[in-house]
Amino acid sequence: MAPTHDHAAAGLVITGEAVALELKPANVAHRLMSGLLDLAIYGAVSFAILLGLSRLVQNAAHVGILIVVVSVILMVGLPTTVESLTRGLSAGKLAVGLRVVRDDGGPIRFRHALVRAMLGAVEIWVTFGTLAVIVAIINKRGKRLGDLLAGTYAIRVRGSEEAHAPLLMPPDLAAWAELADIRRLPDELGLYARLFLTRTSAMTPQVREQRARMFAASIEPYVSPPPPWGTNPERFVAAVLVARRDREYRAAVAEEARASARADRTHRLPYGIPDMF
Protein backbone atom coordinates (compact mmCIF):
# COMPACT_ATOMS: atom_id res chain seq x y z
CA MET A 1 0.00 0.00 0.00
CA ALA A 2 1.27 3.47 -0.87
CA PRO A 3 2.21 5.69 2.02
CA THR A 4 -0.31 8.34 2.83
CA HIS A 5 0.43 12.00 2.63
CA ASP A 6 -1.95 14.89 3.04
CA HIS A 7 -0.61 17.03 0.20
CA ALA A 8 -3.64 19.31 0.33
CA ALA A 9 -2.95 20.13 3.95
CA ALA A 10 0.58 21.02 2.97
CA GLY A 11 -0.69 23.44 0.35
CA LEU A 12 0.11 21.09 -2.55
CA VAL A 13 -2.00 20.35 -5.59
CA ILE A 14 -1.23 17.42 -7.90
CA THR A 15 -1.99 18.24 -11.52
CA GLY A 16 -3.15 15.76 -14.11
CA GLU A 17 0.44 15.51 -15.30
CA ALA A 18 1.52 14.27 -11.86
CA VAL A 19 3.29 17.55 -11.07
CA ALA A 20 3.20 18.85 -7.51
CA LEU A 21 2.40 22.53 -7.33
CA GLU A 22 2.68 24.35 -4.03
CA LEU A 23 -0.25 26.74 -4.06
CA LYS A 24 -1.62 28.98 -1.37
CA PRO A 25 -5.29 29.41 -0.46
CA ALA A 26 -6.77 32.61 -1.84
CA ASN A 27 -7.19 35.41 0.67
CA VAL A 28 -10.47 37.20 1.31
CA ALA A 29 -9.50 40.27 -0.73
CA HIS A 30 -8.86 38.22 -3.87
CA ARG A 31 -12.06 36.26 -3.38
CA LEU A 32 -14.01 39.47 -2.93
CA MET A 33 -12.60 40.95 -6.14
CA SER A 34 -13.36 37.75 -8.02
CA GLY A 35 -16.89 37.62 -6.64
CA LEU A 36 -17.67 41.22 -7.59
CA LEU A 37 -16.53 40.61 -11.17
CA ASP A 38 -18.62 37.46 -11.41
CA LEU A 39 -21.68 39.21 -9.96
CA ALA A 40 -21.38 41.99 -12.53
CA ILE A 41 -21.17 39.50 -15.39
CA TYR A 42 -23.94 37.24 -14.09
CA GLY A 43 -26.10 40.32 -13.47
CA ALA A 44 -25.64 41.51 -17.06
CA VAL A 45 -26.51 38.07 -18.43
CA SER A 46 -29.57 37.81 -16.18
CA PHE A 47 -30.72 41.26 -17.25
CA ALA A 48 -30.47 40.20 -20.89
CA ILE A 49 -32.49 37.08 -20.12
CA LEU A 50 -35.05 39.20 -18.27
CA LEU A 51 -35.47 41.48 -21.27
CA GLY A 52 -35.84 38.52 -23.59
CA LEU A 53 -38.48 36.81 -21.46
CA SER A 54 -40.38 40.02 -20.67
CA ARG A 55 -42.15 39.71 -24.02
CA LEU A 56 -43.99 36.69 -22.63
CA VAL A 57 -45.36 38.63 -19.65
CA GLN A 58 -49.11 39.19 -19.88
CA ASN A 59 -50.19 39.77 -16.28
CA ALA A 60 -48.93 40.22 -12.73
CA ALA A 61 -48.69 36.46 -12.15
CA HIS A 62 -46.31 36.16 -15.07
CA VAL A 63 -44.17 38.93 -13.61
CA GLY A 64 -43.77 37.01 -10.36
CA ILE A 65 -42.85 33.79 -12.18
CA LEU A 66 -40.36 35.66 -14.36
CA ILE A 67 -38.66 37.21 -11.34
CA VAL A 68 -38.33 33.82 -9.63
CA VAL A 69 -36.94 32.15 -12.78
CA VAL A 70 -34.38 34.86 -13.43
CA SER A 71 -33.36 34.92 -9.75
CA VAL A 72 -32.72 31.17 -9.76
CA ILE A 73 -30.71 31.49 -12.98
CA LEU A 74 -28.67 34.36 -11.55
CA MET A 75 -27.95 32.91 -8.12
CA VAL A 76 -27.70 29.17 -8.84
CA GLY A 77 -27.92 28.30 -12.52
CA LEU A 78 -25.13 30.45 -13.96
CA PRO A 79 -22.53 29.86 -11.20
CA THR A 80 -23.17 26.11 -11.20
CA THR A 81 -22.95 25.81 -14.99
CA VAL A 82 -19.81 27.92 -15.33
CA GLU A 83 -17.86 26.26 -12.49
CA SER A 84 -18.92 22.77 -13.61
CA LEU A 85 -17.84 23.25 -17.22
CA THR A 86 -14.55 24.96 -16.32
CA ARG A 87 -13.73 22.74 -13.33
CA GLY A 88 -13.60 25.57 -10.80
CA LEU A 89 -13.04 28.66 -12.91
CA SER A 90 -15.14 31.68 -13.78
CA ALA A 91 -14.49 35.01 -15.46
CA GLY A 92 -13.78 36.70 -12.14
CA LYS A 93 -11.52 33.91 -10.89
CA LEU A 94 -9.66 33.85 -14.19
CA ALA A 95 -9.08 37.60 -14.03
CA VAL A 96 -7.82 37.52 -10.43
CA GLY A 97 -5.90 34.23 -10.79
CA LEU A 98 -7.99 31.89 -8.64
CA ARG A 99 -9.43 28.41 -9.01
CA VAL A 100 -11.79 26.39 -6.82
CA VAL A 101 -10.54 22.86 -6.07
CA ARG A 102 -11.60 20.01 -3.82
CA ASP A 103 -10.01 19.60 -0.41
CA ASP A 104 -7.81 16.84 -1.86
CA GLY A 105 -6.58 19.17 -4.60
CA GLY A 106 -8.64 17.65 -7.42
CA PRO A 107 -10.95 19.49 -9.82
CA ILE A 108 -14.51 20.14 -8.67
CA ARG A 109 -17.54 18.56 -10.33
CA PHE A 110 -21.20 19.42 -10.77
CA ARG A 111 -22.26 18.52 -7.23
CA HIS A 112 -19.52 20.69 -5.71
CA ALA A 113 -20.50 23.65 -7.89
CA LEU A 114 -24.20 23.15 -7.11
CA VAL A 115 -23.66 23.06 -3.34
CA ARG A 116 -21.48 26.19 -3.50
CA ALA A 117 -24.07 28.04 -5.57
CA MET A 118 -27.02 27.04 -3.39
CA LEU A 119 -25.26 28.13 -0.21
CA GLY A 120 -24.07 31.25 -2.02
CA ALA A 121 -27.69 32.25 -2.58
CA VAL A 122 -27.95 32.70 1.18
CA GLU A 123 -24.51 33.81 2.33
CA ILE A 124 -23.83 36.10 -0.65
CA TRP A 125 -27.17 37.33 -1.95
CA VAL A 126 -29.37 37.33 1.16
CA THR A 127 -26.71 38.75 3.50
CA PHE A 128 -25.05 40.86 0.78
CA GLY A 129 -21.85 38.88 1.19
CA THR A 130 -21.41 39.70 4.87
CA LEU A 131 -21.77 36.12 6.09
CA ALA A 132 -19.41 34.79 3.40
CA VAL A 133 -16.73 37.35 4.29
CA ILE A 134 -16.95 36.68 8.03
CA VAL A 135 -16.70 32.91 7.62
CA ALA A 136 -13.83 33.25 5.13
CA ILE A 137 -11.89 35.48 7.54
CA ILE A 138 -12.30 32.96 10.36
CA ASN A 139 -11.39 29.88 8.29
CA LYS A 140 -7.65 29.27 7.81
CA ARG A 141 -8.17 28.39 4.15
CA GLY A 142 -10.50 31.29 3.47
CA LYS A 143 -13.52 29.03 3.01
CA ARG A 144 -17.07 30.31 3.00
CA LEU A 145 -20.05 28.17 4.05
CA GLY A 146 -20.50 26.79 0.55
CA ASP A 147 -16.90 25.60 0.54
CA LEU A 148 -17.23 23.98 3.96
CA LEU A 149 -20.27 21.99 2.91
CA ALA A 150 -19.00 21.12 -0.59
CA GLY A 151 -15.48 20.22 0.55
CA THR A 152 -13.77 22.81 -1.62
CA TYR A 153 -11.59 25.90 -1.32
CA ALA A 154 -10.14 28.59 -3.58
CA ILE A 155 -6.43 28.64 -4.40
CA ARG A 156 -4.09 31.10 -6.01
CA VAL A 157 -2.90 29.76 -9.35
CA ARG A 158 -0.97 32.81 -10.48
CA GLY A 159 2.37 33.77 -9.03
CA SER A 160 2.36 31.11 -6.31
CA GLU A 161 3.84 28.09 -8.05
CA GLU A 162 7.05 26.80 -6.54
CA ALA A 163 9.42 25.34 -9.13
CA HIS A 164 11.12 22.09 -8.18
CA ALA A 165 14.43 20.96 -9.58
CA PRO A 166 14.16 17.97 -11.94
CA LEU A 167 15.18 14.58 -10.62
CA LEU A 168 18.61 13.33 -11.71
CA MET A 169 19.93 9.81 -11.86
CA PRO A 170 22.44 9.08 -9.04
CA PRO A 171 25.72 8.31 -10.91
CA ASP A 172 26.50 5.28 -8.77
CA LEU A 173 23.17 3.66 -9.72
CA ALA A 174 23.08 4.51 -13.42
CA ALA A 175 24.52 1.17 -14.59
CA TRP A 176 22.19 -0.84 -12.33
CA ALA A 177 19.11 1.18 -13.37
CA GLU A 178 19.90 0.69 -17.07
CA LEU A 179 19.67 -3.10 -16.74
CA ALA A 180 17.09 -3.43 -13.96
CA ASP A 181 13.54 -4.58 -14.67
CA ILE A 182 11.38 -1.81 -13.21
CA ARG A 183 7.65 -2.40 -13.43
CA ARG A 184 5.14 0.43 -13.53
CA LEU A 185 4.56 1.86 -10.06
CA PRO A 186 1.05 2.48 -8.71
CA ASP A 187 0.07 6.08 -9.44
CA GLU A 188 -0.23 7.09 -5.78
CA LEU A 189 3.09 5.54 -4.83
CA GLY A 190 4.88 7.28 -7.70
CA LEU A 191 3.28 10.63 -6.89
CA TYR A 192 4.03 10.51 -3.19
CA ALA A 193 7.60 9.33 -3.77
CA ARG A 194 8.17 12.21 -6.19
CA LEU A 195 6.62 14.61 -3.70
CA PHE A 196 8.88 13.27 -0.93
CA LEU A 197 12.01 13.90 -2.99
CA THR A 198 11.01 17.52 -3.65
CA ARG A 199 10.56 18.26 0.05
CA THR A 200 13.50 16.53 1.68
CA SER A 201 15.26 19.81 2.45
CA ALA A 202 12.37 20.79 4.75
CA MET A 203 12.59 17.58 6.81
CA THR A 204 14.70 16.76 9.81
CA PRO A 205 17.40 14.11 9.18
CA GLN A 206 15.51 11.54 11.23
CA VAL A 207 12.20 12.06 9.40
CA ARG A 208 13.98 12.18 6.04
CA GLU A 209 15.67 8.84 6.64
CA GLN A 210 12.50 7.23 7.96
CA ARG A 211 10.46 8.36 4.93
CA ALA A 212 13.21 7.27 2.54
CA ARG A 213 13.27 3.76 4.01
CA MET A 214 9.47 3.60 3.89
CA PHE A 215 9.31 4.55 0.20
CA ALA A 216 12.22 2.28 -0.69
CA ALA A 217 10.46 -0.67 0.95
CA SER A 218 7.25 0.12 -0.94
CA ILE A 219 9.04 0.42 -4.30
CA GLU A 220 11.43 -2.55 -3.99
CA PRO A 221 8.81 -5.24 -4.91
CA TYR A 222 8.46 -3.58 -8.32
CA VAL A 223 12.20 -3.77 -9.07
CA SER A 224 14.37 -6.72 -10.08
CA PRO A 225 17.17 -7.26 -9.29
CA PRO A 226 17.35 -5.17 -6.13
CA PRO A 227 19.88 -2.36 -5.97
CA PRO A 228 23.46 -3.05 -4.88
CA TRP A 229 23.89 -3.89 -1.20
CA GLY A 230 24.22 -0.81 0.99
CA THR A 231 22.49 1.57 -1.46
CA ASN A 232 21.11 4.68 0.19
CA PRO A 233 17.27 4.35 0.24
CA GLU A 234 16.69 7.91 -0.94
CA ARG A 235 19.07 7.46 -3.89
CA PHE A 236 17.37 4.17 -4.73
CA VAL A 237 13.96 5.89 -4.86
CA ALA A 238 15.36 8.65 -7.08
CA ALA A 239 17.02 6.13 -9.42
CA VAL A 240 13.79 4.18 -9.88
CA LEU A 241 11.71 7.28 -10.59
CA VAL A 242 14.26 8.68 -13.06
CA ALA A 243 14.62 5.32 -14.84
CA ARG A 244 10.84 4.98 -15.19
CA ARG A 245 10.53 8.57 -16.41
CA ASP A 246 13.27 8.18 -19.00
CA ARG A 247 11.94 4.85 -20.27
CA GLU A 248 8.42 6.18 -20.62
CA TYR A 249 9.75 9.23 -22.45
CA ARG A 250 11.78 7.10 -24.88
CA ALA A 251 8.77 4.83 -25.47
CA ALA A 252 6.57 7.85 -26.18
CA VAL A 253 9.10 9.30 -28.62
CA ALA A 254 9.43 5.94 -30.42
CA GLU A 255 5.66 5.57 -30.66
CA GLU A 256 5.33 9.10 -32.03
CA ALA A 257 7.97 8.32 -34.66
CA ARG A 258 6.16 5.12 -35.66
CA ALA A 259 2.83 6.96 -35.89
CA SER A 260 4.44 9.65 -38.04
CA ALA A 261 5.92 7.01 -40.34
CA ARG A 262 2.56 5.26 -40.67
CA ALA A 263 0.85 8.54 -41.46
CA ASP A 264 3.50 9.34 -44.07
CA ARG A 265 3.00 5.96 -45.78
CA THR A 266 -0.77 6.37 -45.69
CA HIS A 267 -0.63 9.70 -47.52
CA ARG A 268 1.65 8.48 -50.29
CA LEU A 269 0.06 7.80 -53.65
CA PRO A 270 0.00 4.11 -54.70
CA TYR A 271 2.43 2.46 -57.13
CA GLY A 272 5.02 5.17 -56.74
CA ILE A 273 3.04 7.74 -58.75
CA PRO A 274 4.54 11.14 -57.97
CA ASP A 275 2.36 13.68 -56.26
CA MET A 276 1.84 16.37 -58.93
CA PHE A 277 -0.74 18.40 -57.11
**In this predicted model, what pLDDT tens digit does every residue of 133-165 receive, in sequence order?**
999 999 988 899 999 999 999 988 765 445 556
36-95 confidence digits (pLDDT tens) = 999 899 989 888 888 887 777 777 777 778 888 888 888 999 999 999 999 899 999 988
- Judged by DSSP in three states, 175 sits in helix
How high is the pLDDT of residue 24?
Answer: 77
How high is the pLDDT of residue 165?
Answer: 64
Q: How far apart are CA 124 and CA 264, in angstroms?
A: 58
How high is the pLDDT of residue 115?
Answer: 94
| Region of poorest pLDDT, from 2-11, 66-75, 250-259 | 2-11
101-145 confidence digits (pLDDT tens) = 888 777 899 999 999 999 999 999 889 889 999 999 999 888 999
Select the highest-mean-pLDDT range: 42-56, 163-177, 231-245.
231-245
Mean of pLDDT values over 231-252: 91
How high is the pLDDT of residue 5?
Answer: 47
Largest interatomic CA distance in the chain: 87
- CB under 8 Å to 219, separation ≥6 — which residues? 185, 189, 193, 236, 237, 240
How high is the pLDDT of residue 2?
Answer: 43
**Sign of torsion over alpha carbons 227, 232, 233, 234:** negative
**Beta bridge partner(s), residue 223:** 182
Mean pLDDT of the chain: 82
Which of 157, 160, 154 lies closest to 26 in space, CA to CA?
154
Angle between helices 187-198 and 205-219 (to 10 degrees): 150
Q: Is the pLDDT of residue 23 over 80?
A: no
Split at pLDDT 50, 70, 90, the class of 8 is: very low
Q: Is the pLDDT of residue 235 over 90?
A: yes
194 or 62, which is more confident: 194
How high is the pLDDT of residue 232?
Answer: 94
How high is the pLDDT of residue 195?
Answer: 82
Which of 24, 7, 12, 19 lies closest to 154 in space, CA to CA?
24
Q: Is the pLDDT of residue 266 over 50?
A: yes
Which of 157, 166, 83 lies closest to 119 in space, CA to CA?
83
186: DSSP letter: P
- Tell whether pTM > 0.75: no
Which of 196, 161, 205, 242 lies closest to 7 in space, CA to CA?
196
| C-alpha distances out from residue 214 to 1, 4, 163, 165, 173, Å | 11, 11, 25, 23, 19
137 touches 173 (CB < 8 A): no
Q: How many CA atoms lie within 13 A of 84 on its CB side?
A: 14
Q: Write b or e for each residue in 8-41: b if 16 or more Cβ atoms lie within 10 A of its Cβ, otherwise e.
A: beebbbbeeeeebbbbebbebebbbbbbebbbeb
| C-alpha distances out from residue 248 to 29, 71, 197, 242, Å | 43, 52, 20, 10
What's the CA angle centered on 31, arms 21 and 20, to 5 degrees? 5
201 or 44, which is more confident: 44
